[in-house]
Amino acid sequence: MSLPSTDAPLKVLVIDENSIRRTLLETGLREAGFSNLTVLDDATGLLERIYALDPDVIIIDLENPRRDVLEQMFQVSKIVRRPIAMFVDHADRDTITSAIDAGVSAYIVDGLKKEHVRSILDMTISRFNAFERLRLELEETKSALKERKVIEKAKGILMKSRDLDESAAYELLRKTAMSSGRRIADVAEGLVNSYDLLKG
């Protein structure tokens, strides 16, 4: 995610039930150059509203973080992968840990000053992007490991059923994949599934 440019301004969603603090946030954002703002004065039905608005970044300001609102925000951060900055007046360690675990990118306690909004937003997006990169790398590693296991199992099936050595079994998988325009892992998965079905 990149910061706003003249042709693609960042869509920012602000959620704050307190009118004074809401105005402070909105003013700080506009002064920092963020013009594409949507401001909500309550967190009712938040997930549906976020889906409808499709913001690039979410800022929520909670005077006293109620458990139900926090749970809703944690759900949002898990389901809707967006940078989220959460301002609160006070919080205990468990709440902060829960927020970070749920994917809230920046959790700011007693730090709402309009002149700091830009830097906090930049940090929120930067931290979100860093975590997303790590998450994607982890998913790719898990996927590669899973594919390797499936290919090994498929090779084992071919070695046993066709009386092939390991390199010949792999070559058969590779040729089948090339001739059908599919990935080796997909061919291997199909073979394993068919084998398991026949065996069962």
The 10s digit of each residue's pLDDT in 14-50 is 888 888 888 888 888 888 888 899 998 887 777 888 8
Q: For residues 161 and 137, what is the distance between their CA atoms, to the nearest angstrom?
A: 36
Q: Which domains does the chain have, with CATH numbers?
A: 12-136 (3.40.50.2300), 140-199 (1.10.10.10)
Whole-number pLDDT of residue 200: 60
How big is the chain by its Cα radius of gyration, in Å? 25
Q: For residues 81 and 60, what is the distance between their CA atoms, to the nearest angstrom?
A: 15
**Selected residue with higher pLDDT from 126 and 182:** 182
pLDDT(166) > 80:
yes
Token representation of residue 90:
């006070």
Token representation of residue 130:
């860093």
The proportion of the chain whose per-residue pLDDT surpasses 70, expressed as a percent, equals 86
CA 15 to chain centre: 20
CA distances (Å), origin 57, targets 78, 114, 122, 128, 155: 14, 17, 10, 10, 47
What integer is the mean pLDDT of 104-108? Answer: 77
What integer is the mean pLDDT of 126-139? Answer: 84
| Beta sheet of 37-40, edge-to-edge order | 37-40, 12-16, 57-62, 84-88, 106-109
What integer is the mean pLDDT of 149-172? Answer: 93
